[in-house]
């Protein structure tokens, strides 16, 4: 492993102890260092950073800005160790991040989405996606948090969910309405009928008994949205799973 790659490991470890997950930054920085290796370089310069950031053809300004932000963060860390590493000045790459406008679901919208799950292929898929939508709507959890729930994170006796490894590596308990706890128990019974020997520790499972994948859930949700007749209210306000927490 090259010194730069070793430094990247130390950098990510340090930042993650402060609560940052940096999954995207880690991927981008590995790509950047691999590119530097191919160029035969072991020092970060402003010119090289800018060249790499601009490599993707047709990339949006916001994506270029995100690439530069990742490189700047790592370069700033390296500069404190060795001033030979250059830090690109702020504003070198312009690109405004456009935040989505939350799509506020009505009770009728949520009911329509859950009703559309009846058309999914298997009883397990139907129950899983219906339960997932219900949890997002009543708990305020993020999609990733629901997907990452383990079976043991649900305490039906206390009526609680334990959310682990949430934003900034925090955890919290969520009290459940009795109707929600009852629905989760019913889902768990159906799941266990299909998978008496668990394949995964996940609370919500795929048709194969494995933990759900964010991408696949997103694809299924988009299908349900179309079939339920929910339409965007503007280019920046489209129905997303994340908006159910609002």
pLDDT value for 98: 63
Over the stretch 185-233, which tens digit does the pLDDT of each residue have?
999 999 999 999 999 999 999 999 999 999 899 999 999 999 999 999 8
What order do you get walking across the sheet with 160-163 strand by strand? 154-155, 160-163, 172-175
Q: Kindly state whether residues 111 and 227 are assigned to the same domain.
A: yes
Which whole number is the average pLDDT over 135-142? 93
Is the confidence at residue 167, as pLDDT, over 70? no
Q: Kindly state whether residues 235 and 172 are assigned to the same domain.
A: yes
Pair of tokens at residue 171 = 């955890």
Residue 53 within a domain: yes
Over the stretch 11-44, which tens digit does the pLDDT of each residue have?
999 998 887 888 899 999 999 999 999 999 999 9
Is the confidence at residue 100, as pLDDT, over 70? yes
Q: Which domain holds residue 65?
A: 3-81
Q: Kindly state whether residues 67 and 155 are assigned to the same domain.
A: no
Chain centre to alpha carbon of residue 34: 25
pLDDT value for 95: 57
Q: Please measure the distance between the N-terminal and C-terminal CA atoms of the chain and give it in whole angstroms.
A: 45
Q: Kindly state whether residues 114 and 73 are assigned to the same domain.
A: no
Residue 100 within a domain: no
Burial (0-12, 13-18, 19+ Cβ within 10 Å), 132: buried
Q: Kindly state whether residues 208 and 134 are assigned to the same domain.
A: yes
Q: Kindly state whether residues 14 and 122 are assigned to the same domain.
A: no
Residue 91 within a domain: no
Residue 95 within a domain: no
pLDDT value for 104: 93
Burial (0-12, 13-18, 19+ Cβ within 10 Å), 212: buried
Chain centre to alpha carbon of residue 57: 25
- Give the integer Cα–Cα distance in Å for 3 and 86: 16
Q: Binning pLDDT at 50, 70 and 90, where does residue 129 land? A: very high
Q: Kindly state whether residues 72 and 112 are assigned to the same domain.
A: no
* CA gyration radius, the chain: 22
Residue 101 within a domain: no
Q: Kindly state whether residues 77 and 111 are assigned to the same domain.
A: no
Residue 222 within a domain: yes
Is the confidence at residue 8, as pLDDT, over 80? yes
Q: Binning pLDDT at 50, 70 and 90, where does residue 96 land? A: low
Per the DSSP assignment, residues forming a β-bridge with 211 are: 205
Which whole number is the average pLDDT over 127-155? 95
Q: List Cα–Cα distances, 113 to 28, 86, 107, 143, 229, in angstroms.
A: 36, 51, 10, 16, 9
pLDDT value for 35: 96
Residue 39 within a domain: yes
pLDDT value for 25: 94
Q: Kindly state whether residues 69 and 169 are assigned to the same domain.
A: no
Per the DSSP assignment, residues forming a β-bridge with 161 are: 154, 174
- Give the integer Cα–Cα distance in Å for 165 and 5: 26
What CATH number should be reported for the domain holding residue 160? Answer: 1.10.443.10
Task: Check residue 102 and report its DSSP letter.
Answer: P
pLDDT value for 122: 95
Q: Under a CB-based contact definition with an 8 Å cutoff, are residues 78 and 70 in contact? A: no
Count of structural domains, the chain:
2
Residue 92 within a domain: no
Is the confidence at residue 88, as pLDDT, over 80? yes
Over the stretch 46-66, which tens digit does the pLDDT of each residue have?
999 999 999 998 888 888 989
pLDDT value for 185: 97
Q: Kindly state whether residues 73 and 112 are assigned to the same domain.
A: no
pLDDT value for 170: 76
What's the whole-number average pLDDT of the chain?
91
- Give the integer Cα–Cα distance in Å for 57 and 59: 6
Q: Kindly state whether residues 123 and 218 are assigned to the same domain.
A: yes
Q: Kindly state whether residues 120 and 68 are assigned to the same domain.
A: no
């Amino acid at each position: 492993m090259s010194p730069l790659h070793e430094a990247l490991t130390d950098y990510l470890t340090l930042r993650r102890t402060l609560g940052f997950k940096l999954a995207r930054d880690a991927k981008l920085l590995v790509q950047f260092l691999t590119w530097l290796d191919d160029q035969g370089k072991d020092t970060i310069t402003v010119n090289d950073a800018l060249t790499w950031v601009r490599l993707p053809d047709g990339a949006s300004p916001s994506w270029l800005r995100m690439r530069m932000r990742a490189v700047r963060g790592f370069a700033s860390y390296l500069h404190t160790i060795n001033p030979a590493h250059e830090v690109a000045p702020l504003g070198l790459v312009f690109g405004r991040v456009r935040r989505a406008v939350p799509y506020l679901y009505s009770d009728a919208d949520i009911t329509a989405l859950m009703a559309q799950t009846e058309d999914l292929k298997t009883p397990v898929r139907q129950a899983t996606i219906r339960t997932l939508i219900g949890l997002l709507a009543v708990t305020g959890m993020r999609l990733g948090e629901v997907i990452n729930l383990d079976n043991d994170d649900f305490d039906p006796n206390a009526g609680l969910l334990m959310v682990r490894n949430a934003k900034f590596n925090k955890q919290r308990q969520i009290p459940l309405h009795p109707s929600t706890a009852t629905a989760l128990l019913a889902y768990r019974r159906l799941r266990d009928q299909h998978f008496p020997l668990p394949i995964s520790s996940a609370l919500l499972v795929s048709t194969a008994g494995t933990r759900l994948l964010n991408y696949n859930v997103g694809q299924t949700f988009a299908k349900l949205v179309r079939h339920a007749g929910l339409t965007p209210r503007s280019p920046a306000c489209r129905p997303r799973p994340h908006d159910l927490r609002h």
